[in-house]
Structure 1
Amino acid sequence: MANSYAQAVLTTPDLDEALRVAERLLDLADTRHLEVDFAARVSTTHELERLTAVMPDADWWSHEPGRDGSSRKGDSPSEWLPIFMSRWCMAPETVTAFLAAAGSAPAMVRWDFDGWPEAPEVGLGIGGTRGAYVTVCVNARDLDLEEPAPDHTVYVHVKQVEAQRAPWLAAQVGLQVIGELQMAPL
């Protein structure tokens, strides 16, 4: 499993605001090859039904310690709730449907693209695909969706050796970074 490094740039109770900030960050990026990854922590059969409808081929695994149900084993997800579901390489047009299906469940949308722009003010050239993501965590305060929250957090991902790109990106959209740069499993 690869990792990127992420830093929060906004926490807000307004999902539309979080999505607007994500869009503004994506406007800075090289998005010629843009796709999105989804993840959700699923606790109820109703959430499972809604999310399965928009992510029919999602991978899933048990979310509780000591339980080992998973899609890889061919298990039925409804028998293993709560579970963690994920689906990679989705079309950007599917974000709205995914968020509607997630409802109040902790969920994550991560936009994956070709790279960040040059940041000459901090001595950085164009960034490549590694570490080039924008994530919105919905109803959660952390990238692992472990801390449910009534609000939503926007993260920029950068290479660890280019950590100064995160505050630069935040400034480009009129924000500041929040907290420390943190490892973000992909």
Structure 2
Amino acid sequence: MSNSYARPILRTTDLSAGLRVVERLLAIADLRDLEVDFEVRVSSADVLAALLELIPHAWWCAEGDRDGSSDQGDDPAAHLPVRLRGWAMSPETVEPFIKAVGDSPATVRWDFMGWPEAPEVGLGAGGARGAFVTLCVNVRDLDLEEPAPDHTVFVHVKQVEAERAPWLAAQVGLGVIGDLVMAPY
């Protein structure tokens, strides 16, 4: 994984509206090698059980300064709250993941080959580095630090191609609604 820069383009209380915007963005992307990454802050044993059923080999670690992680072979239920991640998942797992997280803060990140050419802003087709879309569920930021009653869609771009973010937003009838930020992982 590589770092990218992300810019929010939609904030909504309607999760299905966020997913529709993601679908429209993916419709213009080069979807070769499409995969999805998940991250969630889990406080509930029920949510943890549902997520481990969906992502049995998920990486996890205890939140804060506490010990406990999948790397050590610990039981995640004994270390709640935990941060859980799944990488390189199939797109078909998105809906079950969103259902499993419930009200937990989570991110779904679509990773693909590249963005299309953006001649209006002087950019050719973008490569895989920086070609992501993230849906933040029940949280406003990519680091899962600002729980919220709404959901945010971010487009990711290379820092040197920052002008691609507003161009992408315009392609789906939106505008940017925040600053360009460095995305985690």
Q: CA deviation at 1:74?
A: 0.7
- Please say if residues 112 and 132 of structure 2, whose CA atoms lie closer than 8 Å, have aligned partners that are also in contact: yes
Alignment of structure 1 residues 8-19 onto 2, 5 Å: 8-19=8-19
Residue 46 (structure 1) aligns with: 46
Distance 1:2 1:125 in 2: 20
- Please say if residues 2 and 129 of structure 2, whose CA atoms lie closer than 8 Å, have aligned partners that are also in contact: no
Matched, 1:61 2:82: no
Alignment of structure 1 residues 121-136 onto 2, 5 Å: 121-136=120-135
Distance 1:72 1:150 in 2: 32
Residue 174 (structure 1) aligns with: 173
Structure 1 counterpart SS, 2:143: coil
Structure 2 counterpart SS, 1:7: strand
Structure 1 segments (4+ residues) deviating >2 Å = none
- Please say if residues 2 and 130 of structure 2, whose CA atoms lie closer than 8 Å, have aligned partners that are also in contact: no
Distance 1:16 1:154 in 2: 12
Q: CA deviation at 1:3?
A: 1.3
Structure 1 counterpart SS, 2:4: strand
TM-score, with structure 2 as normaliser: 0.98
TM-score, with structure 1 as normaliser: 0.97
What does the per-residue CA deviation read over 1:25-76, in whole Å, with 9 as the maximum and x for residues that have no partner? 0011000221100111000111111111111110001112x21211001111
Structure 1: gaps of 5 or more residues: none
Residue 162 (structure 2) aligns with: 163
Alignment of structure 1 residues 93-104 onto 2, 5 Å: 93-104=92-103
Q: CA RMSD in A?
A: 0.9
Residue 116 (structure 2) aligns with: 117
Q: CA deviation at 1:147?
A: 0.9
Q: CA deviation at 1:2?
A: 3.2
Q: CA deviation at 1:164?
A: 0.2
